């Protein structure tokens, strides 16, 4: 088994992205900036409201693994697709990105997951996800040898929606810790935090999670406070936790009990689509982390990767991130 820098476990999703004015969201009764779970009928209904679309493989943790591979580190992904056209497209795309992906496709059951994303003129994305085959991910899909080989196991909060995936998450985390590896969790979405707040806090406080990624709104939802300083203080009060919180144009903070580091955002000429910004920030940070770089340097790498992703439509990098990092002096 080849050793990996990071192994991600998440929902394997094909994104369908369309530009939309705010009134389209209102007419479809969508909450701007949110991620809603929808059934197949609702997904079809929303698809009919979309204008011209861009179809590209996505999924939060999968996007992060693609970013890690683009930065020259080794990444693997575990997620469930169906053996259908979308599933084959997802498999092709993630392997083409340089990510190890060996999870067997489902022969029957629900179709491969898709996410319908409406991008408004301000770059905000409103996501509507049909989980489909993702819900077939089970503990049996976890390759313990592969988990043990990875320096960091990275999992998305969205895994908490399908019951089988939740059990796969817990099994993988146990294997990782048994083998002296670190476990990272991204909170994924403030509405996801709203659904599972107490369970996420238990994961942190029971020592299941070593590294926590969140954005500002997710952190506020986790600690049920609108005050930034109060939320950060609560994060820093957690034992043995490395917290990494993105703040859009305000950059990010990297927090432990002992230290609090602020790092700036990377400048970007135009925000085209924020889909995947947090995913790619995590890719940069984890690449730096697994290389043993200082947190400031890892944060800079995350900021650069996030800046690349918001400059175009889609949540997978279109530029060579390693070369970009070298060109900007972030990596040697």
CB 37 within 8 A of CB 62: no
Note the pLDDT tens digit of each residue in 204-230. 999 999 999 999 999 999 999 999 999
Please give the Cα distance from 297 to 132 (Å, whole number).
38
CA neighbor of 232 nearest in space, from 247, 248, 245:
245
Please give the Cα distance from 45 to 254 (Å, whole number).
41
CB 4 within 8 A of CB 48: no
| pLDDT on residue 42 | 96
Instruction: For residues 2-25, give the mean pLDDT.
Output: 94
CB 237 within 8 A of CB 251: no
Please tell me the pTM assigned to this model: 0.92
pLDDT at 271 over 90: no
Please give the Cα distance from 12 to 10 (Å, whole number).
6
CA neighbor of 127 nearest in space, from 114, 138, 115, 139:
115
CA 12 from centre of chain:
11
Strands 113-119 and 13-19: parallel
- Residue bearing tokens 């290389």: 291
Note the pLDDT tens digit of each residue in 33-57. 888 989 999 999 999 999 999 888 9
Confidence of residue 2 (pLDDT cuts 50, 70, 90): low
Confidence of residue 332 (pLDDT cuts 50, 70, 90): confident
Torsion of CA 10, 13, 123, 317, to 10 degrees: 80
CB 57 within 8 A of CB 15: yes
Instruction: For residues 69-95, give the mean pLDDT.
Output: 96
Note the pLDDT tens digit of each residue in 115-150. 999 999 998 889 999 999 998 999 999 999 999 999
Range scoring the smallest mean pLDDT among 59-68, 249-258, 267-276: 267-276
């Amino acid at each position: 088994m080849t050793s990996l820098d990071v192994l991600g476990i998440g929902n394997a999703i094909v994104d369908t992205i369309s530009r939309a004015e705010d009134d389209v969201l209102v007419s479809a009764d969508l909450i701007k900036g949110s991620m809603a779970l929808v059934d197949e009928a609702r997904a079809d209904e929303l698809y009919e409201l979309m204008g011209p679309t861009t179809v590209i493989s996505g999924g939060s943790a999968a996007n992060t693994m693609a970013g890690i591979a683009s930065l020259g580190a080794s990444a693997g992904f575990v997620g469930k697709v169906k053996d259908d056209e979308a599933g084959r497209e997802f498999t092709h795309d993630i392997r083409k990105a340089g990510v190890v992906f060996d999870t067997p496709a489902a022969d029957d059951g629900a179709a491969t997951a898709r996410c319908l994303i409406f991008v408004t003129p301000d770059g905000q994305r409103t996501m509507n996800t049909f989980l489909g085959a993702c819900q077939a991910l089970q503990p049996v899909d976890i390759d313990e040898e592969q988990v043990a080989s990875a320096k960091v196991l990275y999992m998305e909060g969205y895994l908490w929606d399908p019951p089988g995936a939740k059990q796969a998450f817990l099994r993988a985390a146990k294997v990782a810790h048994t083998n002296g590896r670190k476990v990272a969790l991204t909170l994924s979405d403030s509405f996801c935090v709203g659904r599972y707040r107490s369970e996420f806090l238990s994961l942190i406080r029971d020592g299941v999670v070593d590294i926590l990624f969140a954005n500002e709104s997710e952190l506020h939802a986790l600690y049920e406070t609108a005050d930034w300083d109060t939320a950060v203080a609560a994060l820093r009060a957690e034992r043995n936790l490395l917290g990494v919180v993105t703040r859009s144009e305000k950059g990010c903070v990297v927090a432990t009990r002992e230290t609090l580091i602020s790092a700036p955002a990377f400048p970007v000429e135009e925000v085209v689509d924020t889909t995947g910004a947090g995913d790619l920030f995590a890719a940069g940070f984890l690449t730096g982390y697994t290389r043993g770089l200082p947190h400031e340097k890892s944060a800079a790498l995350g900021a650069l990767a996030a800046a690349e992703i918001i400059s175009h439509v889609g949540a997978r990098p279109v530029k060579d991130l390693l070369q970009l990092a070298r060109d900007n002096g972030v990596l040697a």
